[in-house]
Amino acid sequence: MTLLYKISSHYSKLSICKTNQGFTLVELMVTLTVLTIIITIAAPAIQIQLASMEAKRVKSQLENTLTLAKAESYTRRENVLVCLSDTGEHCRRDGDKALLLFIDKNDNNDFDAEIDFLLTQISLNLKYSRLSLRVGNKRHYTKFWGNSGTPRGHFGHIKYCPTVAYNTAMYLISFNQTGTVKQKLNENHPTECDD
């Protein structure tokens, strides 16, 4: 009986040792193949979701900044400018790095870090799109006047245009003479993103 006990004890120890050795090479290869297939199937859906999230985030950032510009210009009784920027330093109609909101102390209609008062700078972090500001007279900024809080003579829109095929979002964030800010979808108001 002791011999039988020793043999069964020996086999149970061997099976415990075998289970503690981890994956075999074949098991690892099968696992990696299954994971690769799952990632290949899921990747397009993940990219579409990320692009959609960016479109919603940028919409919110633009609307909030333009609404804040209206409020700040009226409460401070100073002209407040909003512009897009490539570097965070100078305004550009097609800037895609930052959204600037500032008081233009030297009235040159551009942001000067040493002179102007920066109210907020929002990093845009665009990966699936580009933005362009369209205001009358080919201005590279919009101005909210301190005496009324409105962009009188500086109304227009910011276009959100996709740069990748799986981003289907296209819209305008418009601001009218009264300072009302709203989103206009491409179906109703063509963005002309191809221009």
Give the residue extent of every domain in the chain: 24-185
Percentage of the chain with pLDDT > 90?
63
- Among 18-22, 65-69, 146-150, 178-182, name the one with the lowest average pLDDT: 18-22
The average pLDDT across 60-82 equals 95
Closest by CA position to 128, among listed 96, 99, 83, 85: 96
Specify the 3-state DSSP secondary structure of 194: coil
Q: What is the pTM of this model?
A: 0.79
- Provide the residue type at 56 as one letter: K
Compute the distance between CA of residue 94 and CA of residue 61 in angstroms, rounded to an integer: 16
pLDDT at residue 43, rounded to an integer? 81
- Number of helices (H) and strands (E), helices first, in the chain? 2, 9
pLDDT at residue 130, rounded to an integer? 94
Residue 59 vs residues 54, 64, 73, 93, 165: alpha-carbon distances, Å: 8, 8, 21, 17, 19
Would you say domain 24-185 falls under CATH 2.40.30.170? no
Per-residue pLDDT tens over the stretch 3-57 = 555 555 655 555 555 555 677 888 899 999 999 988 888 888 889 999 999 999 9
